[in-house]
Amino acid sequence: MLTSAQATSTTGLLTAAATRRGLATAVLTGPGTVEELTGRPVHWYGGPLAAARIAAPLGLALLEPEDDWLARLPEEFTRRRIELTTLAEAWTLRHPAFVKPPADKSVPPAVYPDGSRLPRTGERIGPDTPVLVSEPVTFAAEYRLFLLDGEVLTGSRYARFGRLDPAPLTAAATAFARRLLDAVGDTLPSAVALDVGPIADPYDPAEHWAVVEANLPWFAHCYAADPDRVLDIVLRAAGPSAQLAGPDRRFVRTLRTIG
C-alpha cells in the first residue's frame, strides 16, 4: 500500500492495519518511488493531486461517486435543494448558498453570502470547474460510514454542529444509511465513504436525517471507525485496474484537472 508523504492520523492507522495484514507499505517521496513500484500491484491512500500523477504509471483505478450523485438524490434523502453547476454559474448567485466541488477542495466548501465571494482565479479552478450548490442547512451531527458492496462495515461520528467531535457510530446513522442504500445503492461505487446526519431545525423538533455527501474513501479520515475495516474499503476503492469489477468501471476517476 502506497501512502502520501503528508502523514495524517488516518495514514498511520491504515499503515499499521496494512502491516498487520502482511501488506508491504511505502511512502510516496517522489518519482523514484513510482519507478520502484511500477509493475507491482499497488493500492493508494492519499490526496487526489498526487493520485492524478501516479495513477497511470502504477495502473491504479480510483473509484469516486459521480459528480451529480448528490444532486440526483430524491429530496427525502437530502432535505435540501442541491444543483450541480459550474463555478461560472455560481458566480451569478444573489443569495446565500453552500458551495463545494463534488469530490475535492479546489474551492473551499462553505456557505457563501452570494456568488461574488467565490474564488475566481487559481491554479486548480476555472469557469468550468464543477460545483455543487445547495440550500444552507445545519447538521446537528455528522457521521462517516464506510461502505463495501452495499454494507456498512464501520463508521464514526466526526462532528457536532460543525465542530470536530469524533464518537462511535450510532444505530440511527446506520439505519438511515441502509434505507438509502436500499433505494439508491446501485448509484454508488462498491467501496465508498458516506457522510450523513440529522438536520437541526428550530421549527421542527423531529429528527430528520439527510445525506451530507459521498466521499473518496482513499482520501477520507476514519476518525473513530475501525481502521482494519476502513482498510478493506480503501483497498477496493484505490487498487490495481486489473482487479476492477465490471460494475465499478463507470466510477473510475477521470484524470482531468483535479485538486
| Best CA proximity match to 121, nearest among 96, 94, 87 | 87
Q: pLDDT tens-digit profile of 29-83?
A: 999 999 999 999 999 999 998 999 999 999 999 999 999 999 999 999 999 999 9
Q: What is the pLDDT of residue 259?
A: 34
Torsions phi, psi for 138 (to 5 deg): -115, 125
Task: Assess whether pLDDT exceeds 60 at residue 254.
Answer: yes
**Domain assignments of the chain as residue spans, ordered by start:** 81-134
The type of residue at 25 is T
Task: Assess whether pLDDT exceeds 60 at residue 218.
Answer: yes
Helix ranges (DSSP H) in the chain = 9-20, 31-37, 48-58, 69-72, 75-78, 87-90, 171-184, 227-237
Q: pLDDT tens-digit profile of 185-194?
A: 999 999 999 9
Predicted confidence band at 105 (pLDDT cuts at 50, 70, 90)?
Answer: confident
Kindly report the pTM of this predicted structure. 0.93
Average pLDDT in the chain: 94
Cα dihedral sign, 132-148-239-250: negative
